Each structure stands twice: as structure tokens, then as C-alpha cells.
Structure 1
Amino acid sequence: MFFWTSPTFDPAKDIPDLSGKVIFVTGGNTGLGKQYILEVCRHHPAQVWLAARNVEKAREAVAEIQDQVPDAPIEILEIDLSSLASVKKAALEFEQRCDRLDILMLNAGIIMAPLGKTQDGYEVHFGTNYVGHALLTKLLLPTIEKTIANQESPDARILAVSSSGYQVAPKQGIIFESVKTTCAEFWNMTRYGQSKLALMLWIRQLSKLHPNIKCASIHPGVVDTELGIPRGVELSYMQIFMRWASLNLLRYVSVEEGVKGQLWATATNDLQSGEYYIPVGRVETLKAEWRDEALSNKLWDWTEEELKPYSA
């Protein structure tokens, strides 16, 4: 699952003109998100919203991008996906400042975080990678729908950066009884895998309920972004081994290569809504036990109930 042929997608030639498009990117101040913004800004979008927790790092990222694309039309938006109050505040600010949204790129994520919970009581990977993004999407959907309604040839997209790490989620899929604990009984990567599986299942269900929006999950490959390990965290022996394995056993790619899957999904006319893609632009089918409609429906209903206090 880790060894792919060289991608043929060329961002310089294969991304169409993005004039008039508004793009929203979470985690755009570093890694894949920053590279994604750089590449799309070369193709003249109307606006790109860089949403990130660290505003100072976001400003540094914008300056570096504008060194290469001087007229890059980037707006910075502060958001902490581990806080649903912060997510709601960011969505409201966006609505006040912009009345259009063509592409929502759910790029931000954490991995190998120490045991903990978000401000709202969710296991830290699940709350940050999944619940925060689900609320953000729910709050921005009216703007996306309005954008579609005002287009002669509507083409709105919601794209989520996923991971092959979903395969180390619990065999049952989502252990709902655990997601409001630290999930201490799980291996660190299992906690991460559960969050990524949830995001993938939710994206698939979103595509069914909103067939006028193209929705997909994108695995970028094993990318040289420090594996998302939080700064200042002392790594366990297992985490050190995982880092060594990623560098020495897997095909490790640069952010310039890794971002091509996200850019392909942004540009292609062949995107199949609801699918999970591996590099570059290849559909991969989830395991049978995770294609169970009952699990997707249960996750969707659970999520809707969880988000009610913030989405009224």
C-alpha cells in the first residue's frame, strides 16, 4: 500500500485557471497545507483563506508564499480545531467577510499526540482531526450551497486529507464509547487511525446527502512533514521506531510530491464523489467491514447530535 508509481500530475500544467474561485484551507501555515496554497495561488484564485491555530506562523507562511507569488490573494483566519468554540468563531468571521466558497480543503491534522482530550472532552486526535472539521464543514455548507446556486456550471468541492493510517483503526471501526475518553487502552496510532477513518466515513456520507458537492478523501502518501509530531513532545520508543520506519522502509516523498493528490482532486473533472484516493488520483476501496452503511449512518447521526450546541 506504500509503494506507488511516479505521479504524472503536473500542477503547473494540469491545474486550470482558478479565477473567481474562493478556497479555504485548514492547517495552511505549514507542510502540505502551505504547499497547496502556494500551488493554487499560481493559478489566480480570487481568494485563499489560510486557517491556522498559530497566526504568527501563518503570517510567516504568507510572506514566504508571496515571495514566490507576489500577488497571492491570501487571507489569514485564526482557528483551533481542538476547540469547537474557536471553530464556530472562525466560521462566523469567514461568513462576515466572504460570501462565496468553492473549495474547502480539510488539511489540518495531528498524529502521535500524547494522551489527552480536546477542550470539549474528545480524545485529542478524534476531536481535532474529525469533530472540529465536521463542525467547520457544517457551518460553511450554507455558503457553499449559495455559491453553487449562483453558478451556471456549479463545481464546489469538499476535500479531506486522509491517511492509510485509517487501517489501524479498531476492527469495529469507531468505538463511540471511547471517543470522550483519552482512549488509553489503544495504541497511539490506533487513536489516530480511528480519527481518520471517521473523517473518511463522514465524507462519504456527506457526498450522499449533498450530491451537488464533490466530496472526497485524499491520502498524500508518506510525506516529509515530521509526521505531524507536536513540537516539544518527548517521543516514546515506539514513536521513534515509527519515525525511523517511515524514513527507511517506506517511500518517503517531499511535500511537493505529496500535495499532488490534493491538487489533482482540486483540478480534475474525474473526481468520484465519496471515494478515497491514493497517489495520484487512484481510488482505493475500504475494507468490507468499514463499508457497512450502518456504521456510516451511526457516525453521521452521532456527529449531528454532538454538533447541535454549536450549529444552531
Structure 2
Amino acid sequence: MFPWASTTFNPAEDIPDLSGKVIFVTGGNTGLGKQYILEVCRHHPAQVWLAARNLEKARAAVAEIQSQVPGAPIEILEIDLSSLSSVSKAAREFQQRCDRLDILMLNAGIIMAPLGKTQDGYEVHFGTNYVGHALLTKLLLPTIEKTIAGQESPDARILAVTSSGYQVAPKEGIVFESVRMTCADWWNMSRYGQSKLALILWTRQLAKRYPNIKCASIHPGVVDTELGIPRGVELSYFSTFLRWASLTLLRYVSLEEGVKGQLWATATKDLQSGEYYIPIGKVETLKAEWKDDALSNKLWDWTEEELKPHSG
């Protein structure tokens, strides 16, 4: 149990029956994403889409989950969030194979990645953690809206896994001229923090612009996952030390505990759209200059312009 939790949550008892629901999860092949899929599959969803870059790991994850939940209705979808063409392809494939979407869990992410840019020229954390998810959401919104059309009490949800690491974003919040640079003179965690702050601000605008969809961002706590070990990259001594420190000195929790924030946001009737939650189910207020709508509106408009070539 999180020592600072504001509410108790027991997935076995507190997640309602999910019959008929279709759930889409990015980064579902490992860590929190895999644990989330395991837990929701215990509650009889119609389908869970496991979207991941590594199909081998995805198949292994499905086999492991189905060994615990026989017949778990999981579909695998290839997606690389660092490539907007891959995101577009994944969205098209999903919509060709499925005409419903109730819960979109934006779970995937990287941290402590080496200096670099995505295939589309964005700083690698910002492009992967934020821009890729923003495009995926934009492309899947029509399916979500179609799902809830005509429902008396619509309950579609878009949930973004973010981090308290947003607090180490630059003091300006989002430095727009930086997002197409490697930001070599920045502290690595500031690059990560900017991407996670962007998710929080964008989710708040998403909630305002789509009031019929419940949207929220969630910090899971400090959890032992494979986050931050990019493909083909060996951890440096410094990265290894930071990982040890986070697990040893911070309030490290297991995957089973860490995923509860996402599960709570999936299940609760008390979700306040547009808010940022820390474990479990507690709203955290951003500092005034970041909570001000001026910055989130600017980010929204910038994002819409960036995504135009990819969202026709």
C-alpha cells in the first residue's frame, strides 16, 4: 500500500464488470502496461488491445497473462510511438478491425534515453512520450465518439500515465523551440520532465474540448519497471545508480501496487475530468504558472498544427 495514498483500492473487488468494453493500451508488453492488462482481463472486457513496439515481447506477455486468465481476449498491435507513420498505421489497423473503443490507456514511455531525436525530428522523450500519444489519441477520437454516441450516460475514458518527474521540467514549462533539438545542455531528467508535463497540460485541454469523454493523467508512483532502458542501449554507471536510488531511497512499490492508480482511474465513478492524480485517487494541483490555461492552450494549438500532416 502506498504510504501517502488517499484512498484504498482493491482491484479484485472494486473494478466493475467490464463486459462489452474495448480497451486499448500502449506499452502493454511489459511493466505497468502488462500488469494493467492482466488486471482488467479478470473483469471480462470484450477486447483488450496490447499495442507495443516489440512484438516478440508482446506475444510473450499475452501468453503469460492468458496462463493466469485463460481465454483473456487480447489482440496485439504493433506501434512505435517515436514514429508518427507507425502511429498512423496502428490507428488505421485498429479501426479496420474494431469499431468500438471505451478506454484508451496511454501507458508507454521512456526515461533516461540517450540524446537523440525521433524519426520525425522531435527530442526523443518529447516525441515518444507526448507527440506520439497525442497523434494516436487524435486518430482514435472518432472511434471513441462513435462508441458513446446516443448513450444516456457515456463513460469513455482517455487516461495518460505521467510522472511526478514533470516537476523537473524547465521553469518555463514547455520550451517550444527545444522540442526539435536534442537539448544536449539539459539535464536528462528535464527532457523527460518536459514530456510528462506536456501530457498533463494536454490532457487538461482534451477534457475541456471533449466534455463527453473523461480524461485524466496519472502518476503511478516509483515503480520497478523496464522504463528507461531503450532498445539496444546499455545502462551507464550513472543511470544504473539513479535506478538503484529510485528503488532504494524513494518510495518504491511493486507493479501490483503501482498499477492501482491506473485501475482506479479506469473503474471509479469519481474521476474528475482534466485532473492530474497521484496515488491513489488524489488530485494534485500544479503550480500556478503551469496550471494557467495560457500554457496548455498554447501547447494544444502547437500540437494541432504539428499533427495536421499526419491526421488527414
What TM-score do you get using the length of structure 2 for normalisation?
Answer: 0.97
- Cα offsets for 1:235-292 (capped at 9, x unmatched): 3444233212212211101111000000000000000000000011010001111012
**1:86-165 maps to which residues of 2 (within 5 A)?**
86-165=86-165
Instruction: Give the 3-state SS of the residue equivalent to 1:51 in structure 2.
Output: strand
Query: What does residue 285 of structure 2 align with?
Result: 285
8 Å CA contact 1:130–1:199 kept in 2: the answer is yes
8 Å CA contact 1:166–1:193 kept in 2: the answer is yes
8 Å CA contact 1:110–1:228 kept in 2: the answer is yes
**1:155-194 maps to which residues of 2 (within 5 A)?**
155-194=155-194
Tell me, which stretches of 5 or more residues in structure 1 are unaligned?
A: none
Give the whole-Å Cα distance in 1 for the aligned partners of 2:231 and 2:123: 19
Give the whole-Å Cα distance in 2 for the aligned partners of 1:283 and 1:204: 13
Tell me, which stretches of 5 or more residues in structure 2 are unaligned?
A: none
Give the whole-Å Cα distance in 1 for the aligned partners of 2:228 and 2:182: 19
Give the whole-Å Cα distance in 1 for the aligned partners of 2:304 and 2:35: 32
**1:1-312 maps to which residues of 2 (within 5 A)?**
4-5=4-5, 8-312=8-312
8 Å CA contact 2:6–2:282 kept in 1: the answer is no
Instruction: Give the 3-state SS of the residue equivalent to 2:271 in structure 1.
Output: coil
Change (3 A) 1:155 1:26: same
Instruction: Give the 3-state SS of the residue equivalent to 1:228 in structure 2.
Output: coil
- Cα offsets for 1:109-147 (capped at 9, x unmatched): 000000000000000000000000000000000000000
Worse overlay, 239-248 or 55-64: 239-248
Q: Which amino acid aligns with 2:211?
A: P
Instruction: Give the 3-state SS of the residue equivalent to 2:176 in structure 1.
Output: coil
Give the whole-Å Cα distance in 2 for the aligned partners of 1:5 and 1:90: 36
Q: Which amino acid aligns with 1:305?
A: E
Worse overlay, 220-229 or 68-77: 220-229
Worse overlay, 226-235 or 263-272: 226-235
Worse overlay, 225-234 or 176-185: 225-234
Instruction: Give the 3-state SS of the residue equivalent to 1:92 in structure 2.
Output: helix
Corresponding pairs, count: 311
8 Å CA contact 1:3–1:250 kept in 2: the answer is no
Q: Which amino acid aligns with 1:67?
A: S
Return the offset for 1:230.
Answer: 2.1
- RMSD between superposed Cα atoms in Å: 1.3
Give the whole-Å Cα distance in 1 for the aligned partners of 2:165 and 2:139: 27
Q: Which amino acid aligns with 2:123?
A: E
Instruction: Give the 3-state SS of the residue equivalent to 1:99 in structure 2.
Output: coil
Q: Which amino acid aligns with 2:135?
A: L
What TM-score do you get using the length of structure 1 for normalisation?
Answer: 0.97
Instruction: Give the 3-state SS of the residue equivalent to 2:178 in structure 1.
Output: coil
Give the whole-Å Cα distance in 2 for the aligned partners of 1:114 and 1:63: 32
Q: Which amino acid aligns with 1:133?
A: H
Instruction: Give the 3-state SS of the residue equivalent to 2:66 in structure 1.
Output: helix
Task: Report sequence identity in percent.
Answer: 87
8 Å CA contact 1:25–1:107 kept in 2: the answer is yes
Give the whole-Å Cα distance in 2 for the aligned partners of 1:308 and 1:45: 33
